[in-house]
Amino acid sequence: MDIMDFLSPLIGGIQVLDNFTIWGFILLGTIIGVIVGALPGVGATMTYGMLLPFTFTLPADVAIALLLSISVGNAFGNSIPAILMGIPGSPSAILTVIDGYSLHKKGESGLALAVAWFAAMAGQAISIILFVLMVVPLMAMAYNFGDPEKFALFLLGIVAIASLTGDNVVKGLMAGGVGFMIGIVGLDPNSPLPRFTFGFSILRTGFDIAPVMIGLLALGELFRSTRQVFKWEARIDTKHAAKFPPLYKLKDTIWPILSGTFIGTFISAIPGAGATPAAMIAYQQAQLFAKRPEEFGKGSIEGLAANEAAQNASNSGEAAPALALGLPTSGSMVLLLAALTIHGFIPGPNMIRQTPELFYAAIGGMLAATLILTLTGWHLGLAMLRFVNINRSIVVVLSIFTVLVGVYCLSYRVFDVWVVIGCGVIGYYLSRYGYAVAAAALAVVLGRQLERSLRLGLNLTDGDWIGMLSRPFTALFVCVTITFLSIGIYRTMKFRKKMRDAKMLTEATAAD
Amino acid sequence: MDSRKDLLFALAMVCLGVAVILITYNFREPVIQDTIGPRAFPYGLGLLFAVGGAFVAIQRLKSMHAGNGYIVPDEGGEDEEAYPASGVRAMAMIGLCCVYTLVLQPIGFIVATPFFVALALFLMNERKPMLLITTSLCFTAGTYVLIHLLLDGRLPEGVLKGLLP
């Protein structure tokens, strides 16, 4: 690999932006991302779910640029309610509440918003370079992948998400199994044998991925949102005006931004990790090296900057394994791959090696969205103050309606609407009872390929399991899978011990 | 989270596992044979559901007690603490979505959608008639213009077939 291997994707990314159409969609995506980010509870995954059906009429490169620009806008937008209302726009913005909202209550809203904006833009811009530095070697590594390696890689992705999301690894694995079950319906990948079709011809080709994904990840969450009725505006405190602070006040945020960007990019690239742990680790790390660690939790701009930079950097980090290996690490990346599947691409290690324009479109989309937010982010952020005042019930109902109509418009079949509702119900129950929905969604996308790779891999080694699993990369992925599973089991046991201790304490208090 | 519902869900997983194993047992023999065949994965999944569901059910039974009204800490998505939550409302919304899907083609998008939106808002405790009427009509008209007229999509016309632009 030489320097041009790394520079050419950046040049390709810039070249993608040579027409107004793609700029228009990126601008639209960025604005939508900021708006939905500013609405508590409406995250990037749900937005992807709602807009996915409408991206199928677009060329694949425009669709990918649009979707990633939504993520970029969203990661900045979710800080706005966190700082001004004390409500995180998404789980990854939880730590923004601690320091951002503290600054807001002290009358430093302008400083908090400016730090969030500066850190988000710098983190996003630097992480695009790290994204290229990660993807190029991953692509080179994936060049040698055969079916055994693909099987181990897909298994790693599903087990990692099942083990690390949620508090119960057994439930996580069962959720992955549910996804497999949905994916398995249809003809057997190696022979024309129908499985679980129950005689319905419409099921012989299996379920379309898009309605299943949208149902599990977006509609399930929307059904969950209907459990509660409240108004966002009741909790807004707008007594402090937001003015941009003098630039010297941002000086202390440079190192936390750099460390947050590195941590955010690399941690979020780990399957099952995502933006939330990345932001939390970045925050803790920033506290260790902070000039004023005592301010953390009470309105620290260093903590806020590290956390914001990590959140935005996680967009690039999550996209790296999704595009380079076909291994999504978050719900939104699962939907991104689903979108590409509908465009005729097969997620997997060779996807962007064969179609580098997807890689360039991802870089171009994130670059352009960063530029747009750099130029307009501050004013856009202030404008979003109006959006957080809109009626939550209308947003929820509009979102459900958009999902139903959008899915119908995919292929004008009412059957798809039934599928999305069915999967929405499954997603709702999985999410309610702690079964990792993201693992189920990922298993739908990768399940059939995992089975096919295993069976072809075994054919390759004449049915010799040891021969198949002892190939270098396969063995490496299996070892990492076992490690993730062990971490999941440990976390589950720790959670149960915590619950037992809490129960004993409650009983002891009651006895007293 | 209500531990009794969690237990029921785990038992449903056990039933699903048993059903998957039984259905897989009745698969036809494939013409093309390979090392593990088309039954291995479904059997594995059935076993995962049955054993995993039983494990979760036993765990839940061991920790279940009537104190705190069988409520245990959430393992999944938590509701907002400050506001009451209603599973019945979520079920009603799911039911409403099913009814909308059922009537979408027979009566058409233009007629079905305002009722769906208004009823959905009503379920979400919106009671102002003006808000219900304007929002449902705006949603319907906006979506129709966007999809049918601008994007050249096809929305079900139903009873208004031949009358719409």
Q: What is the pLDDT of residues A405-457, one digit of tens each?
A: 888 988 889 999 999 999 999 999 998 888 888 889 888 888 888 898 999 99
Best A198, A230, A390, A408 member to test B by mutation, with max B CBs in 10 Å, is A408
- pLDDT by residue, tens only, chain B of 165 residues: 777 888 999 999 999 999 999 999 988 877 777 888 889 999 999 999 999 999 999 988 887 766 666 776 666 666 777 778 888 999 999 999 999 999 999 999 999 999 999 999 999 999 999 999 999 999 899 989 888 887 777 889 888 887 777
Chain B environment of A393 (Cβ under 8 Å): 121, 124-126
Q: What pLDDT is stored for residue A2 in this prediction?
A: 73
Q: What is the pLDDT of residues A65-117, one digit of tens each?
A: 998 899 888 888 888 877 877 766 666 777 787 888 888 878 888 888 889 99
Q: What pLDDT is stored for residue A234 in this prediction?
A: 43
Interface size A-B, in CB pairs within 8 Å, comes to 179
Q: What pLDDT is stored for residue A507 in this prediction?
A: 67
> Which residues are registered as beta bridge partners of B85?
A228
Q: Is the whole-model pTM more than 0.95? A: no
Q: What pLDDT is stored for residue B133 in this prediction?
A: 94
Region A287-297 average pLDDT: 81
What's the pLDDT band for A176 if we cut at 50, 70, 90? very high
Mean pLDDT for chain A? 84
Nearest to B6 among A417, A433, A507 (CB): A433
3-state helix, strand, coil in chain A (%, to 5): 75, 0, 20
Nearest to B98 among A167, A421, A431 (CB): A421
Over A145-207, what HEC string results? CCHHHHHHHHHHHHHHHHHHCCCCHHHHHHHHHHHHHHHHCEECCCCCCEECCCCCHHHCCCC
What's the pLDDT band for A41 if we cut at 50, 70, 90? low
Q: What is the DSSP-derived secondary structure letter of residue B36? A: S
Q: Is the pLDDT of residue A372 over 90?
A: yes
> Which residues are registered as beta bridge partners of A187?
A194
Q: What is the pLDDT of residues A156-167, one digit of tens each?
A: 888 888 887 777
- The residue written with tokens 């870089």 in the block is A363
Could you tell me the CA-to-CA distances from A398 to A42, A219, A479, B53, B143 in Å, in that order?
A: 12, 12, 45, 36, 11
First to last CA, chain B: 50
d(CA A394, CA A145): 48
Q: What is the pLDDT of residues A200-237, one digit of tens each?
A: 988 988 898 888 988 998 899 889 889 988 776 544 55
CB of A291 within 8 A of CB of A306? no
- A496/B34 Cβ within 8 A: no
Q: Give the closest-approach CA distance of A94 to chain B in angstroms.
A: 14
User: Residue A433's closest CA among A244, A171, A59?
Assistant: A171
Q: What pLDDT is stored for residue A242 in this prediction?
A: 66
CB of B85 within 8 A of CB of B100? no
Chain A environment of B101 (Cβ under 8 Å): 404, 414, 417-418, 421
- A396/B89 Cβ within 8 A: no
Chain B environment of A229 (Cβ under 8 Å): 83, 89, 124-125
Nearest to B49 among A174, A433, A463 (CB): A174
Q: What is the pLDDT of residues A223-277, one digit of tens each?
A: 988 998 877 654 455 555 567 788 888 888 899 999 999 998 988 887 766 777 7
Q: What pLDDT is stored for residue A113 in this prediction?
A: 87
Is A488 an interface residue toward B (CB < 8 Å)? Answer: no
Q: Give the closest-approach CA distance of A313 to chain B in angstroms.
A: 25
Nearest to B126 among A224, A393, A495 (CB): A393
Q: What pLDDT is stored for residue A510 in this prediction?
A: 64
Amino acid A136 reads V
Q: What is the pLDDT of residues A378-387, one digit of tens each?
A: 888 777 766 6
User: Residue A345's closest CA among A334, A355, A357, A333?
Assistant: A355
- A412/B67 Cβ within 8 A: no
d(CA A277, CA A35): 24
Chain A environment of B97 (Cβ under 8 Å): 400, 404, 421, 424
Is A14 an interface residue toward B (CB < 8 Å)? Answer: no
Q: Give the phi and the psi of residue A228 in degrees, each rounded to 5.
A: -125, 145
Chain B environment of A500 (Cβ under 8 Å): 63
Q: Give the closest-approach CA distance of B93 to chain A in angstroms.
A: 7
- A228/B86 Cβ within 8 A: yes
Q: What pLDDT is stored for residue B67 in this prediction?
A: 63
Highest-confidence segment of A38-52, A390-404, B109-123? B109-123
Question: Can you tell me whether residue A292 is helix, strand or coil?
Answer: coil
CB of A159 within 8 A of CB of B2? no
**Residue-wise over B93-127: b if at least 16 C-beta within 10 A, else e?**
bbebbeebbebbeebbbbbbbbbbbbbbbbbbebe
Contacts for A339 with CB less than 8 Å, ≥ 6 apart: A48, A52, A55, A56, A63, A64, A67, A210
Q: Is the pLDDT of residue A512 over 90?
A: no
Nearest to A393 among B75, B97, B121 (CB): B121
